[in-house]
Amino acid sequence: MGILERIKEIEAEMARTQKNKATEYHLGQLKAKIAKLRTQLLEPPKGSSGAGEGFEVTKFGHGRVALIGFPSVGKSTLLTLLTGTQSEAASYEFTTLTCIPGIIHYNDTKIQLLDLPGIIEGASEGKGRGRQVIAVSKSSDIVLMVLDASKSEGHRQILTKELEAVGLRLNKKPPQIYFKKKKTGGISFNSTSQLTHMDEKLCYQILHEYKIHNAEILFREDATVDDFIDVIEGNRKYMKCIYVYNKIDVVGIDDVDRLSRQPNSIVISCNLKLNLDRLLAKMWEAMGLVRVYTKPQGQQPDFTDPVVLSLDRGGCTVEDFCNHIHRSLIKDVKYVLVWGISARHYPQHCGLSHMLNDEDVVQIVKKKDTEGEGRGRFKSHSNDPARISDRVKKAPLKT
């Protein structure tokens, strides 16, 4: 029997089984079985390089955003509008068959936007180009799920399910469960919060399914069986997703109003070029990029070419900033001077572990630059960070 048939069989058994206290352990075990099979399904076939022909697009820029959606919702039209790169758009389904990259220039950064073929129910099991599309979405930083505002609202759930089936978790935080496999010592089970979905026995049974007999487990929140399986599998990807309802030019104002009020959602019209600025602003915010401007000593900062950091991609400390400029820089750095939101006063003397904020200005002081100098050369100026908002760019920065 193939993997897909086995998944179907277990799903059918779960559907037949009544949900109650007595069957809870059995259902938990079945869930673990399905999760294991899905992981097998995701392993690329031997000898293949992963993404597949037409989908191997080199990463470019400061972040990557994937356009995911059913056929003909307007993904290619949107890519062309936002990036200027032509991606064929037409009224028939599956116009796009490969991955088409474009670049968005926004807030002095470059963001790679990927147009992809439409996906359909069953994509996670390999229908259409589902597998390739999903592999590319996993490589991106956030997902824009494009939906047709005039079509069924069920589409959003269907797509979310398809993405969840392959280990993507949209707009969710990783479960607060500490889990560590051990060589010996049996299972140690603890929790710091009251558990209403899980208990020790269920936990043991799921671990048994994974043939794990020695492990340390600490539940730090009231997690579910699915959360626990996610932690054991360990290959989940937690991503932000913005639901983009396109074609609002063909629906009534009440629908537009309702859709726009849903969480993480935005309504747009490519045809009328409506709300595209707000979409870009929302996308930018979701990416959490941190622009840091470098200021050479005695000169104005270069406000055209920031160093771009992000918490998801390597971190936002002064050390990350230095490593970004040059790997060998860190050993020469004595301290840095920081202007901006992250500084308590301007400029603030900061060490390598200081967390930088978007639009901070940083001057690096190297060890040899200060040889023979006494401390306290830089006076602290108490200053209101809010004043610096638009701010650092306009004000001349001394030092």
Ligand X SMILES: Nc1nc2c(ncn2[C@@H]2O[C@H](COP(=O)(O)OP(=O)(O)OP(=O)(O)O)[C@@H](O)[C@H]2O)c(=O)[nH]1
Please say whether the beta carbons of 381 and 345 come within 8 A: yes
Binding flag, residue 265, Mg ion (CB under 5 A): no
Rounded to an integer, what distance in angstroms lies between the CA atom of residue 115 and that of residue 199?
A: 44
Nearest distance, CB of residue 125 and ligand X, angstroms: 19
Binding flag, residue 271, ligand X (CB under 6 A): yes
Binding flag, residue 278, ligand X (CB under 6 A): no
Listing DSSP states for 310-356 in one string gives: ETTTBB-BHHHHHHHH-TTGGGGEEEEEEESTT-SEESEEE-TTPBP
Binding flag, residue 95, K ion (CB under 5 A): yes
Nearest distance, CB of residue 39 and K ion, angstroms: 33
Binding flag, residue 96, Mg ion (CB under 5 A): yes
- Residues 74-113 vs ligand X: string with x where CB under 6 A? xxxx-----------xxx-xxxx-----------------
Nearest distance, CB of residue 146 and Mg ion, angstroms: 10
Q: Do strands 307-310 and 289-294 pair parallel, antiparallel, or not at all (unpaired)?
A: antiparallel
DSSP code for 274: B
Nearest distance, CB of residue 280 and ligand X, angstroms: 16
Nearest distance, CB of residue 140 and ligand X, angstroms: 17
Nearer to K ion, 93 or 216 (CB): 93
- Dihedral sign from CA coordinates of 105, 110, 116, 119: negative
**Residues 61-80 contacting K ion, CB under 5 A:** 72
Binding flag, residue 77, Mg ion (CB under 5 A): no
- End-to-end CA gap in the chain: 72
Binding flag, residue 129, ligand X (CB under 6 A): no
* Residue 247 touches which of Mg ion, ligand X, K ion, none (Cβ within 5-8 Å per kind): ligand X
Rounded to an integer, what distance in angstroms lies between the CA atom of residue 192 and that of residue 212?
A: 22
Nearer to ligand X, 146 or 316 (CB): 146
- Beta strands in the chain, from DSSP E residues, in sequence order: 63-69, 100-106, 109-115, 142-148, 168-170, 177-181, 187-191, 215-219, 237-246, 265-267, 289-294, 307-310, 333-339, 345-346, 348-350, 360-366, 381-382
3-state secondary structure of 139: coil
Nearer to ligand X, 160 or 310 (CB): 160
Point out which residues bind ligand X (CB under 6 A): 69, 71-77, 89-91, 93-96, 117-118, 246-247, 249-250, 269-271
Point out which residues bind K ion (CB under 5 A): 72, 95
